[in-house]
């Protein structure tokens, strides 16, 4: 164990959202697939994000792009554990992006202090007990199905549309997490932009964050590089803006999310996010 979870207080107010930098140790993520798949490259990338001011590094070994197939457990472990160990040794506050109890357990042992479970405990309910036993921070994201099938589940016809459904379904995940022994104050909720969501659903969720906040937990939002931004910025022929060219839109969104009072933003460009947060902070000083 590199750094005990109890020594990191991730709920202390900072006056701005925490910036969670993404390190995908995968060959196939939509946003940066293959760039950091070698452990040394992933660690170097994490250290760059840390130098840019990342408050948390989120290390993932499974791509969740729509249609992706899952890695074997052994593959996922081999991708993330050495990278987590090295970054934690370098003083990073590390989050592991996983849906598997075994990976969460190994990651916590290697020095992670946050488990970012995009399935909110649905994919592997044992993960909740692992998090509870470690006293780690738990990010429960809204999710309906694995990437291979998630497009089939992007239907929100019930009361309150997508915002109502996400609130109800995250409420169920909250109950499961607390029943497993995770302290409520350690739980962070995430609307899961792009996960079984069409572009319009993502925008409705971003506009409805106050309803999610009313569940009484801190919020994390991950919009960075996602396809709904590409669609918004499509050219006159309707061709979506490429993944690498969506950053300015995400930076604008970062400023908005800061005004909404979210706890965290999950981004690829940490420096751009901090620039936006500094603008917001400076304006608040004049208010």
CB nearer ligand PMM, residue 29 or residue 204: 29
With binding defined as CB under 6 A, does residue 202 bind ligand PMM?
no
The verdict on 212 binding ligand PMM (CB under 6 A) reads no
Min. distance of Cβ 237 from ligand PMM in angstroms?
26
Contact pick of 23, 139, 165, 167 for ligand PMM (by CB under 6 A): 139
Which of 105, 116, 227, 251 touches ligand PMM (CB under 6 A)? 116
Q: Can you tell me the distance from the alpha carbon of 229 to that of 173, in angstroms, rounded to the nearest whole number? A: 28
Number of residues forming the site for ligand PMM (CB under 6 A): 19
Q: Whose Cβ is closer to ligand PMM: residue 33's or residue 164's?
A: 33
Q: What is the CA radius of gyration of the chain?
A: 18
Long-range pairs, 250-253, Cβ under 8 A, ≥24: 250/223, 250/224, 250/225, 251/275, 251/276, 252/276, 253/206, 253/223, 253/229
Cα separation, 273 vs 253, whole angstroms = 9
64 binds ligand PMM (CB under 6 A): yes
Minimum distance of ligand PMM from residue 262's CB (angstroms): 12
Catalytic residue among 16, 18, 226, 246: 226
266 scored as a contact of ligand PMM (CB under 6 A):
yes
Which of residues 5 and 31 has its CB atom nearest to ligand PMM in the complex? 31
| Nearer of residues 130 and 139 to ligand PMM, judged by Cβ | 139
CB of 180 to ligand PMM, least distance (A): 19
Which of 108, 47, 37, 110 has the alpha carbon at shortest distance from 75? Answer: 37
Please check whether residue 241 is in contact with residue 234, taking contact to mean a CB–CB distance below 8 angstroms: yes
DSSP letter (8 states) at residue 150: G
Query: Does 119 help bind ligand PMM (rule: CB under 6 A)?
Result: no
What's the CA angle centered on 120, arms 115 and 121, to 5 degrees? 90
Residues with catalytic roles: 226, 266
């Amino acid at each position: 164990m590199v750094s005990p979870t109890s020594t990191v207080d991730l709920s202390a107010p900072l006056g701005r959202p925490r910036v969670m930098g993404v390190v995908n140790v995968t060959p196939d993520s939509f946003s940066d697939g293959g760039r950091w798949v070698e452990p040394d490259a992933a660690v170097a990338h994490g250290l760059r994000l840390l130098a840019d001011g990342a408050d948390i590094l989120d290390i993932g070994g499974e791509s969740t792009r729509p249609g992706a197939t899952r890695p074997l457990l052994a593959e996922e472990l081999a991708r993330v554990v050495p990278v987590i160990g090295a970054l934690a040794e370098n003083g990073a506050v590390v989050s592991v992006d996983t849906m598997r109890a075994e990976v969460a357990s190994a990651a916590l042992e290697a020095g992670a202090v946050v488990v970012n479970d995009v399935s909110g405990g649905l994919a592997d309910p044992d993960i909740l007990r692992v998090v509870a036993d470690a006293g780690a921070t738990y990010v429960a994201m809204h999710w309906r199905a694995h990437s291979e099938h998630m497009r089939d589940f992007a239907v929100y016809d019930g009361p309150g549309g997508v915002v109502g459904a996400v609130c109800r379904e995250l409420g169920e995940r909250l109950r499961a997490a607390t029943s497993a022994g995770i302290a409520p104050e350690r739980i962070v909720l995430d609307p899961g932009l792009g996960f079984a969501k069409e572009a319009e659903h993502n925008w409705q969720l971003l506009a409805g964050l106050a309803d999610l906040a009313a569940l009484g937990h801190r919020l994390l939002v991950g919009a960075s590089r996602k396809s709904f931004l590409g669609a918004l910025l499509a050219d006159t022929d309707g061709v979506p803006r490429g993944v690498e060219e969506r950053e300015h839109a995400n930076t604008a969104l970062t400023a908005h999310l800061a005004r909404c009072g979210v706890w965290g933003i999950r981004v690829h460009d940490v420096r751009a996010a901090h620039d936006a947060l500094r603008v917001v902070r400076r304006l608040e000083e004049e208010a």
